[in-house]
């Protein structure tokens, strides 16, 4: 059973997500929160597999809640997915840097939401490459704000990737393109298990929490560019 916490200040959104998830035999909503502080307390109490957190909430916002959750070593197994109304929401970039496993638009298809939760719970990718490129392009080009993190790709030196082998850089580029382990295996003619091993080494060598942070590193070091179609 995949246990999920939902944090959103809109009762209708929470009710809709709960209704959708509770009809699935492998998913269960174990708690609801209306703001960031409630979300943090609920996650600490329930230790869910996935926390769906709205970016814009009164009081403590979703970005601050995400940062608090991902910074807590006791909550390392909790995967945070931020929810946003706009693909270019200025807080999305900051949420990914704060350690969110990915983000979803609120108008996403119900089946995509279910798939996303299952993917994140399994440690897979949850980043729409097109939306990610748009978000990162906006902020690496200098359009970011103090709340969203660095506004220059120089914030992460390209030399950070010197610890990687040529094959690991190939895998990192494919992770940044939103490929799953199976898709990476197909692209590089290797098994999904081997692809998973490469991703694990990337996480270790780059001290990244998850695949979402690998995507940020790939863009910010210049390995891939926002307009690329790896």
- Give the per-residue pLDDT at 157: 79
In this predicted structure, the answer to whether residue 10 has a pLDDT above a threshold of 90 is yes
Could you tell me the pLDDT band of residue 48, with boundaries at 50, 70 and 90?
very high
- Helix and strand numbers (H, E) in the chain are 10, 5
The residue assigned the tokens 């393109």 is 177
Q: CA-to-CA distance for 220 and 135, rounded, in angstroms?
A: 12
Q: Which domains, from first to last, does the chain contain?
A: 2-126 (3.40.50.2300), 130-220 (1.10.10.10)
Could you tell me the pLDDT band of residue 178, with boundaries at 50, 70 and 90?
confident
- Give the per-residue pLDDT at 145: 42
Q: Residue 51 has which token pair?
A: 């926390």
Partners of residue 2 on adjacent β-strands: 27
Q: CA-to-CA distance for 45 and 75, rounded, in angstroms?
A: 10
In this predicted structure, the answer to whether residue 182 has a pLDDT above a threshold of 50 is yes
Question: Greater confidence, 156 or 3?
Answer: 3
- Give the per-residue pLDDT at 162: 95
Partners of residue 7 on adjacent β-strands: 33, 53
Average of per-residue pLDDT across 143-151: 41
For the stretch 82-120, pLDDT in tens is 888 766 556 667 777 778 887 788 888 899 899 889 988
Per mean pLDDT, which range of 20-24, 55-59, 207-211 is the poorest? 207-211
């Amino acid at each position: 059973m995949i246990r999920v916490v939902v944090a959103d200040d809109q009762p209708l959104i929470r009710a809709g997500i709960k209704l959708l998830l509770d009809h699935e035999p492998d998913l269960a909503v174990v708690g609801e929160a209306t703001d960031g502080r409630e979300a943090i307390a609920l996650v600490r109490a329930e230790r869910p597999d996935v926390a769906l957190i709205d970016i814009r909430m009164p009081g403590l916002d979703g970005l601050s809640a995400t940062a608090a959750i991902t910074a807590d070593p006791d909550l390392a197994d909790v995967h945070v997915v931020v929810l946003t109304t706009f693909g270019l929401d200025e807080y999305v970039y900051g949420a990914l840097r704060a350690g969110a496993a990915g983000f979803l638009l609120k108008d996403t298809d119900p089946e995509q939401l279910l798939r996303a939760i299952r993917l994140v719970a399994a440690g897979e990718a949850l980043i729409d490459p097109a939306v990610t490129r748009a978000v990162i392009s906006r902020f690496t080009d200098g359009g970011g704000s103090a709340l969203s993190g660095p506004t220059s790709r120089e914030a992460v030196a390209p030399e950070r990737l010197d610890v990687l082998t040529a094959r690991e850089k190939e895998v990192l580029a494919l992770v940044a393109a939103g490929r799953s382990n199976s898709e990476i295996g197909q692209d590089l003619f290797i098994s999904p298990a081997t692809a998973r091993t490469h991703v694990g080494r990337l996480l270790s060598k780059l001290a990244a929490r998850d695949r979402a942070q690998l995507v940020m590193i790939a863009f910010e070091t210049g390995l891939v560019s926002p307009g690329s179609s790896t």
